[in-house]
Amino acid sequence: MKYIHYYIFFLFFFIACKENKTDIIPCVPQTKVDVPLEEVSGISSSFIDTVLFVKLQEPQNTFRNLDKLKIYGDTIYILDERLSKLMSFDKEGNFITQYGERGRSSSEYVRVNSFDVDKHYVYLYDDASEKMISFTHGGEFVQKVETPFWGEDFKALENGSFLFSLKPGKLNVKLCVTDSHFNIKKVFSYFDEEDQDNYSNYSLFQKVGDSIYYTDDMSDTTHVFTPKGELVHSYLFNFGKYAPPLEARYDAEQLIKEKHVFMYTCPLIYDSKLVMFLRNRHLRTVLY
């Protein structure tokens, strides 16, 4: 698979409100990022200043895929979605514990598609059973709570509530804030009836410093939230003539077929640098 690297040449700032009949996100400052999609053969070695390898002392046959990784404190958490297995390691790579296992009891799950960690618990979301399961950091079961929606990804907030990205369902809610019992308290956007959004193969949420970033798949827009779930800023990535029109942003396969460019994962942001995966016409590429 060929990876192509791009540079963002400049930022154009303006204040605007995104107009979308299915979107009720309030008017917030928005930054338009014009991306000229210039191909380069490599990136400067100064882009990453430190590389650290940690050899995981994993139990035999632990992973097939490393789909999601989070570091909380000195602990590394890794989720293998194919095996529905979440495990933790210390910073030297020593195995700590596994959180739950497959099954039908209260402390078990059918399929884990997302997880998060805060100072209280480790949270696993079972999208097959539509329930959240909580564990202590040491791996002991705490509780399970069924959710009244079909969740895709989530982020635990500092006040005990949650940011949730949902899959298309009877509620048609795309992005919302829930309370600690997963009752929806505020909706930021809804699905259009043709919308096949949430195409991401990666986490839709990223925590960077004191901010939480959420990428609205196929809309080329990343929203910024506070740790309490307040929306404070948006970034619109403009791919010029290769960007799909608004009315076409509902079918990822069609966008690829018609050779459009669109985002399909939340960006990784570190020290004012950004890395993001794109669907660039018929290729999977990387934006720097």
Q: What is the pLDDT along the chain (288 residues), one digit of tens a residue?
A: 333 333 333 333 332 343 343 345 567 888 998 888 777 777 666 777 777 888 888 777 677 888 888 999 999 999 998 888 999 999 999 999 999 999 988 889 999 989 999 999 999 999 999 999 999 999 999 999 999 999 999 999 999 999 999 988 778 898 999 999 999 999 998 887 766 555 555 678 988 888 999 988 778 889 999 999 999 999 999 988 888 887 777 777 778 888 888 887 777 877 777 888 888 887 888 888
Q: Which amino acid is at 273?
A: K
pLDDT of residue 72: 92
pLDDT of residue 200: 55
The long-range contacts involving 253-261, CB below 8 angstroms and separated by at least 24 positions, are: 255/218, 255/279, 256/281, 256/282, 261/37
What is the chain's Cα-based Rg? 19
Global confidence as pTM = 0.82
Domains annotated on the chain, with CATH: 5-287 (2.40.128.630)
Residue 142 near residue 135, CB atoms below 8 Å? yes
pLDDT of residue 23: 45
pLDDT of residue 156: 96
pLDDT of residue 104: 87
